[in-house]
Amino acid sequence: DRMRYRLRAFGLDLPLSRPLPEISAALAATYPADASGIRIFCDQAEAIGRALDNPGGERERQLLGQAASTPARNYLKDLILTPAPRRVLGSIGTHEPYSGLTLLAAMWRLMTRDGIWLPAGGMGAIGDGLLAAARSAGAQVRLGVPVAAIRVKDGRAEGVTLESGEEIAAAAVVSNADYKTTFLRLIADENLSDEFFQAVFFARQTGSCLQVALGLDPAKVDLSAFDDCDRVIHRRLEPGPPPDWRALELDPVALAGEELELGLWSRPGADGPGAALVIRVPAEYNHFTRYRIVPYTRLPAYADYKEKLAAALIAEAETALPGLAAAVMVKDVATPLTFEERGGRSAGSIAGWSWDFESGSDPEPRELVRTPIAGLYLAGCQAFSGLFLGGVPTAALSGIRAAEYALAGAGPQTPTLPS
């Protein structure tokens, strides 16, 4: 099923999962003083998208090279003067532009043309299908068995050591942990050059989020905001001062004034008698680390604090979904610590490498599957320098590449990581 997005911010109510010319026309009609700049940007984004589809020609390579070296904020700052349409087009949301022009065009192509999709049966269906296929081919799959270390001898991966102490020998190791987990936690420092260790250590990742998952009684809440969409990008008209992440505690109202993603993950009737809603807001990992004593353990104040933050997010979401607070039957609140420990993501990063222009912008994403250690390959959302196909398809492609390299005995190769 294709996920349909809608923006409700700046006084706009704008469907985003529509062809880009339709979005261009709607924004141009709302902001006539910027109509020319809006059309120029949308035409350029579509041209870059076409070049990404067929990058073989000289003209296409030139366009992609030029776009890759252009920060979206620089391109848009004099083209579109009104902040609202500049932010919408520059971030597919409510933020000021932050990525390179190539990545921004690719994301608009994904949003408006190719679509963002959920598999039939939910996200778990992909893992279940892969698991069944592997076992039917004779593979032994052991789930819930944490790895403590990747063993390396004479520059070659030779297997893993489990947290139980059991050692498993292997001719090749494919890690689907991210780069920081793989090379800073699972591999002993002496197996890495100082240069590569520092490149991994300082490489920038995307940020994390605070997530509130709700099970709802649909009879008590107005879900009509989702009549023609599945995700709403919401921000209050007057957001106020931003949250101070250096403070011991955030002002919950300030956090709720940030951009929220409201996602209806199950609808009443089609998916059962209830409804499931997920609220997400960007959150800084370091702010929450003071509540962790050791992994999987929290200070007593942590539970009350995240409940206060969740209550403010629910109250803000209720402005778009009347009756929401009274409809909550089940609630779960996850912080960046949760995404790190339960999701296996360093610092709770939710979407691979940083998308900021300063972290690097390539005309075409670089493959990072092969590593400096022979027989060790990376798969997952950091195995390419960008999520050029979207998260799951890019990760799946990296798994195919890793398997091909392992069978061929390819590598080693020191990748150039995003900075």
- Strand blocks (E) in 109-175: 116-117, 147-153, 156-162, 167-169, 173-175
In this predicted structure, what is the pLDDT of residue 50? 94
CB distance 353 to 386 below 8 Å? yes
In this predicted structure, what is the pLDDT of residue 124? 87
Per-residue pLDDT tens digits of the chain, which is 419 residues long: 899 999 999 999 999 999 999 999 999 999 999 999 999 999 999 999 999 888 888 899 899 889 988 999 999 999 999 999 999 999 999 999 999 999 899 999 999 999 998 888 888 898 999 999 999 999 999 998 999 999 999 999 999 999 999 999 999 999 999 999 999 999 999 999 999 999 999 999 999 999 999 999 999 999 999 999 999 999 999 888 999 999 999 999 999 999 999 999 998 876 678 899 999 999 999 999 999 989 899 999 999 999 999 999 999 999 999 999 999 999 999 999 999 998 888 999 988 898 888 766 555 678 999 999 999 999 998 999 887 777 888 899 999 999 999 999 998 999 988 87
Sign of CA dihedral 349, 355, 360, 366: positive
Cα–Cα distance for residue pair 347/369, rounded to 1 Å: 21
| Chain centre distance of CA 172 | 28
In this predicted structure, what is the pLDDT of residue 235? 98
In this predicted structure, what is the pLDDT of residue 311? 99
Question: Which helix (H) or strand (E) segment is 340 a member of?
Answer: helix 336-341
Name the nearest CA neighbour of 87 among 71, 72, 70: 72
Neighbours of 153 (CB within 10 A): 9
Neighbours of 309 (CB within 10 A): 22
Cα–Cα distance for residue pair 251/162, rounded to 1 Å: 42
In this predicted structure, what is the pLDDT of residue 282? 98
Sign of CA dihedral 225, 228, 231, 234: negative
Give start-end residues of each CATH 3.50.50.60 domain in the chain.
124-204+351-408
In this predicted structure, what is the pLDDT of residue 273? 80
Tell the CATH superfamily of the 124-204+351-408 domain: FAD/NAD(P)-binding domain (3.50.50.60)
The helix/strand/coil state of 283 is strand
Does a cis peptide bond (omega within 30 degrees of 0) precede residue 119?
no
Give the C-alpha distances (Å, rounded to integers) separating 152 from 91, 170, 181, 357, 377: 42, 11, 16, 35, 13
